[in-house]
Amino acid sequence: MTQQVVLIPGDGIGPQITQVAKRVMEAAGADIEWLDRPAGAGAFEEFGHLIPPQTFEAIENCHVALKGPITTPIGKGFSSVNVQLRKHFKLYAAVRPVRSMPGIKTRYENVEIVVIRENTEGLYSGLEHEVVPGVVESIKVATETGCERIARFAFNYAKQRSRRKVTVFHKANIMKMSDGLFIKCSDRMHKQVGEGIEYQELIIDNGCMQLVRDPNAFDILLLENFYGDVVSDLCAGLVGGLGVVPGANFGDDCAIFEAVHGSAPDIAGLGIANPLAVIMSGVMMLNHIDQSSAADKIKNAYDLVLAEGNCEEITRDIGGTASTQEFAEALIKRM
């Protein structure tokens, strides 16, 4: 049955890479009716809203979206559209699979980590204020409901995919109450729903050191919002960078798929962005909507193109010379 999917092009490199991803999915035979809807800085200029009502409405109706990256001003201006979408649709679980890709040389081999990040609480609650001039406060929120929900998600995810271990990174030695609650709930959920899954807690500074020393020691990482944001980029660096790591944001009845990377303003409009991460996010989305034969076709195609490693078929960030379009053509040729 044809599935309606909302496509949010986003800002910077977003429109170009999402168009290419759509083309690749169509070439793989995905049975999708795309509803293009705006959000982000561009949407604000055109419609006067960062997330126009028609975008909220379309996601509410379809329950699935593929999103390009969205620019957020640094240190001033509007609050993050991504955070707003995640909160509005209660997309509490960000899932970012990080794996060594054929043909992409890095310091490590056979890395296979899934970063599971709590997406709605922590420091990203956006509760900041000036107490007196020169003193600001940023409030970190952790609720028992939110901590249990993400931990339950992580252990269920591990069981469904036959993974072996969940490691929680925390700083409960300093943030005894908020991170303390996070590990208490993780431990409780391990006992309740994590049968057969190994469970480990590491203080995050030590965890990061161990991660770059031996990433193969890790399987699933479970983190609160801020740590998850930072550590997922670190993990991307282990396997070749932001161009090769997909992501999904899951709630109980809605999912938005997007690459881990941002809008890359430094290369926007040059036609050289790597569309692979958003294409891989599209593969996660196709599996989510039960269109796994199209998903497999695309995955086989990019594994082949990367393994062959022809410079003219891969983008600059991973050692080639291909444009965004040329990379997409190479994938379509292999299907």
Cα 305 from chain centre = 23
Among candidate residues 265, 266, 208, 267, the one with its CA nearest the CA of residue 238: 208
Q: Please identify the residue of the shown chain whose CB is closest to the bound ligand NAI.
A: 262
Q: In sequence order, what DSSP letters do the residues of 20-73 get, joined into one string? A: HHHHHHHHTT--EEEEE---SHHHHHHHS-SS-HHHHHHHHHHSEEEE------
Question: Which of the 8 DSSP states describes residue 141?
Answer: B
Work out how close the CB of 252 gets to ligand NAI at its nearest, in angstroms, rounded to a whole number.
21
Is 242 among the residues that bind ligand NAI (CB under 6 A)?
A: yes
Among 258, 279, 313, 327, binds ligand NAI (CB under 6 A): 258
Among candidate residues 221, 201, 262, the one with its CA nearest the CA of residue 74: 262
Work out how close the CB of 134 gets to ligand NAI at its nearest, in angstroms, rounded to a whole number.
26
Which one, 80 or 210, has the nearer CB to ligand NAI?
80
Interacting stretch for ligand NAI, rule CB under 6 A, among 65-73, 189-197, 280-288, 291-299? 65-73
Work out how close the CB of 15 gets to ligand NAI at its nearest, in angstroms, rounded to a whole number.
13
Interacting stretch for ligand NAI, rule CB under 6 A, among 150-158, 182-190, 215-223, 260-268? 260-268
Angle, alpha carbons 315-279-42 (nearest 5°)? 90
Question: Which of the 8 DSSP states describes residue 298?
Answer: H
Is 263 among the residues that bind ligand NAI (CB under 6 A)?
A: yes
Work out how close the CB of 227 gets to ligand NAI at its nearest, in angstroms, rounded to a whole number.
15
Work out how close the CB of 169 gets to ligand NAI at its nearest, in angstroms, rounded to a whole number.
20
Is 274 among the residues that bind ligand NAI (CB under 6 A)?
A: yes
Take residue 245 and report the two structure tokens written for it.
């790591």
Is 267 among the residues that bind ligand NAI (CB under 6 A)?
A: yes
Is 69 among the residues that bind ligand NAI (CB under 6 A)?
A: yes
Which one, 30 or 236, has the nearer CB to ligand NAI?
236
Report d(CA 42, CA 38) in Å as an integer. 8
Is 273 among the residues that bind ligand NAI (CB under 6 A)?
A: yes
Kindly provide the b/e burial profile for residues 27-47, where b requires at least 16 CB atoms within 10 angstroms of the residue's own CB. bbebebebbebbbbbbbbeee
Among candidate residues 26, 31, 29, the one with its CA nearest the CA of residue 2: 31
Residues 167-206 that bind ligand NAI (CB under 6 A): none
Is 82 among the residues that bind ligand NAI (CB under 6 A)?
A: yes
Among 16, 72, 225, 281, binds ligand NAI (CB under 6 A): 72
Is 70 among the residues that bind ligand NAI (CB under 6 A)?
A: yes
For 120, how many CA atoms within 13 A lie in the half-sphere containing its CB?
20
Take residue 281 and report the two structure tokens written for it.
């996010």
Work out how close the CB of 68 gets to ligand NAI at its nearest, in angstroms, rounded to a whole number.
7
- Cβ 31 vs Cβ 297: under 8 Å: no
Which one, 8 or 294, has the nearer CB to ligand NAI?
8
Given the rule CB under 6 A, which residues bind ligand NAI? 13, 69-72, 82, 242-243, 258, 261-267, 273-274, 277, 317
